[in-house]
Structure 1
Amino acid sequence: MDCDKCDREAVMHAAYSGLHLCEDHFTASVDKRVRRRVREDGLVPDDATPEDPETWVVGLSGGKDSVVLTDILHRTFEQDPRIELVALTIHEGIEGYRDKSVDACEELAEELSIRHEIVTYEEEFDVRMDDVVEKDPENMAACAYCGVFRRDLLSRYAEEFGADKLLTGHNLDDEAETALMNFLEGDVAQIAKHFDASLGRFGDDRDDSESSRSSPAREEQEDFVPRAKPLRDVPEKEVALYAHLNDLPAHITECPHASEAYRGEIQSLLYQLEENHPGTRHSIMAGYEELAALAAEEFGARDGGKTELGECERCGASTTRDRCRKCSLLDSLHAA
């Protein structure tokens, strides 16, 4: 099949748009969507100048999503002195898994000549995820612990590096899955909260654990550096194809501790819906963002801005409790 834009051979067919695209036009299409999202979300402020540049911290895990995002952002802003990129990699302490992805991160950062920082659970919290999974004092999925620790480090180091934005590599499938999970759980509060995170405003991402519905981590309302997800208009398979065609050093292997059974069910459902009804993911997100905006407005009006946040007595993080969720989990792990 020929490309719809030229006479070269097509490398992909986007059923939701009907387009067949060759390698060059496919790559250009992904670049265009990411740059459009950056523009539409207003990530580059009008007052940014070379003398007072924006610092964007990118969560670089070494997986396909974060690698593709980092590569596109670098090429987009390489000649723009108003934007400085800093890659932040978090090593959770998973033997035989994270070491290889860290290698991919280091290779990419060296190729792009961007600042690259690595922080570890072991140095920051005196824990390794392999040991956390073995102890499991809270009887939770590994992702529940890891999500709390990861969010803490991303936010804390983004602030330490003076970040104006914190960017993560969530793709269209990730966002549509989260939207369905929140809706099917009837979690209006989380829908309102996700609106802020998805548009790069203050907010947090969903806790993807099996126990997330009642997890105190979801009730925390920490003051984050504004977050953004410029890759959220691009389907997961297209991200993987982009990484392959552009020979990017992505480490594409699932975490051995991943156990998000509910998200897996939603993922399978979404795949089937998309196959039978191309464009379902885009429709879900279009409606969800409208719903989320209304939910955020309603919750803001209901609260009247009166929610009082204190500081964790242990680490000083913003929390509605005496001790934040991260510190509570660490206490349980160190006591086990």
Structure 2
Amino acid sequence: MECDKCGSDAVMHAGYSGAHLCEEHFLASVEKRVRRRIRRDSLVPRDASPDDPERWVLGLSGGKDSVVLAQILDETFGRDPRIEILALTIHEGIEGYRDESVEACVELSEDLDLRHELVSYEEEFGVRMDDVVEDDPEGMAPCAYCGVFRRDLLETYAEEFDADILLTGHNLDDEAQTALMNVFEGDVEQMAKHFDASLGPFDERTESPHFVPRAKPLRDIPEKEVALYAHLRDLPAHITECPHASEAFRGEIQELLLKLEEDHPGTRHSILSGYEEMASMAADRYRGESTAEMRECERCGSKTTREVCRKCRLLESLEAV
């Protein structure tokens, strides 16, 4: 199998495009698509200036996705005085698993000369995920707790570090899975929230005093291509599944998508494209009809539509054990 561009040995075949690419052209293709997404989402404002640089907080877990994103962002903006990149790592309290990935985060941050901040559930909330799994008073999957706690810390520290954008390493598979889950669950309001959490063109950003806008520059890159990029670049990624991972529904959706993509290449791209259209209409609807007002959580002061936020309610259930 030869590269379509130069005739060298190909390292990958993209069924959705039919392309065969060698190592050099594959790496260049991934980088080109990530930078194109950055341009499309207008992450660098037209008036960005070295005198008042944009600060981007990157959620760096040490996994392949965030490590690849950090590498490409550094190579693109590392010498751009208009952009400051800060890496934020969250330690959930999972013995062995997260300790090793934190080492990957530290190694990469040192290699790229990135400012790196580490926060933990234990220091912030007084809990560790290993203990939550044992107690689990709500009878929920560990991911349900962990997702709430992680989002809270990402948003809290992005705001504390005065970030203009919060970047995460969600890839095409992640986004297509989330899209199908929301559609199958009929969760129109969640579609609207999902759309509003991401960035459109810079001039159309919704100004909000409550949340730092999010961006997902890897959302056009399939998961396998992210993994291959990390391997070929020999990046210090920690590629091991969380021992507490148990999102059964997402796992079923993942298997379904893989089968669909194998039989009908391009399915993930089509799903995401159609979903964004639906989510945009849902967002327009809920902006006009939603009566829920943001308030401060009575316990922690974070923004919520209820008297006590979801994070604090989960923490209360754990404290009662």
Please name the residue that 2:230 is paired with. 243
- Rounded Cα–Cα distance in structure 1 between residues aligned with 2:123 and 2:282: 39
- Rounded Cα–Cα distance in structure 2 between residues aligned with 1:322 and 1:332: 16
- Is residue 36 from structure 1 mapped to residue 32 from structure 2 by the alignment? no
Aligned partner of 2:23: which letter? E
- Is residue 334 from structure 1 mapped to residue 319 from structure 2 by the alignment? yes
Please name the residue that 1:273 is paired with. 260
Match of 2:293 among 276, 296, 308: 308
- TM-superposed CA distance for 1:197, in Å, is 2.1
Cα offsets for 1:122-177 (capped at 9, x unmatched): 11111100001101011111001101110110011111111000000000000000
Please name the residue that 2:214 is paired with. 227
- Is residue 322 from structure 1 mapped to residue 307 from structure 2 by the alignment? yes
Q: Secondary structure at the match of 2:49?
A: coil
- Rounded Cα–Cα distance in structure 1 between residues aligned with 2:174 and 2:316: 31
Cα offsets for 1:57-91 (capped at 9, x unmatched): 00000000000001000100012110000000000
- Rounded Cα–Cα distance in structure 1 between residues aligned with 2:248 and 2:26: 33
Structure 1 pair 129–222 and aligned structure 2 pair: CA distance change class (3 A): farther
The percent identity for this pair of structures is 74
Please name the residue that 1:58 is paired with. 58
- Is residue 186 from structure 1 mapped to residue 186 from structure 2 by the alignment? yes
Cα offsets for 1:210-230 (capped at 9, x unmatched): xxxxxxxxxxx9922000000
Please name the residue that 2:116 is paired with. 116
Any gaps of 5 or more consecutive residues in structure 2? none
Please name the residue that 2:67 is paired with. 67
Q: Secondary structure at the match of 1:291?
A: helix
Aligned partner of 1:329: which letter? L
Residues 198, 213 of structure 2: 8 Å contact kept: no
Please name the residue that 1:13 is paired with. 13
Residues 202, 224 of structure 1: 8 Å contact kept: no
Structure 1 pair 321–307 and aligned structure 2 pair: CA distance change class (3 A): closer
Aligned partner of 1:333: which letter? L
Structure 1 pair 202–172 and aligned structure 2 pair: CA distance change class (3 A): farther
Aligned partner of 1:331: which letter? E
Please name the residue that 1:289 is paired with. 276
Residues 64, 250 of structure 1: 8 Å contact kept: yes
Residues 222, 319 of structure 1: 8 Å contact kept: no
Q: Secondary structure at the match of 1:281?
A: helix
- Rounded Cα–Cα distance in structure 2 between residues aligned with 1:54 and 1:135: 42
Q: Secondary structure at the match of 1:230?
A: coil
Q: Secondary structure at the match of 1:278?
A: coil
- Rounded Cα–Cα distance in structure 1 between residues aligned with 2:130 and 2:117: 22
Cα RMSD, aligned residues only: 1.4
Aligned partner of 2:230: which letter? A
Aligned partner of 2:229: which letter? Y
- Rounded Cα–Cα distance in structure 1 between residues aligned with 2:313 and 2:285: 31
Please name the residue that 2:157 is paired with. 157
- Rounded Cα–Cα distance in structure 2 between residues aligned with 1:28 and 1:185: 38
Cα offsets for 1:245-289 (capped at 9, x unmatched): 000000000000000000000000000000000000001111111
Residues 142, 245 of structure 2: 8 Å contact kept: yes
Residues 13, 21 of structure 2: 8 Å contact kept: yes
The number of aligned residues is 317
Please name the residue that 1:173 is paired with. 173
Q: TM-score, normalised by structure 1?
A: 0.92
Residues 166, 225 of structure 1: 8 Å contact kept: yes
Q: TM-score, normalised by structure 2?
A: 0.96
Aligned partner of 2:320: which letter? A
Structure 1 pair 131–242 and aligned structure 2 pair: CA distance change class (3 A): same
Aligned partner of 1:80: which letter? D
Any gaps of 5 or more consecutive residues in structure 1? 204-220
- Rounded Cα–Cα distance in structure 2 between residues aligned with 1:222 and 1:102: 31
- Rounded Cα–Cα distance in structure 1 between residues aligned with 2:187 and 2:50: 43
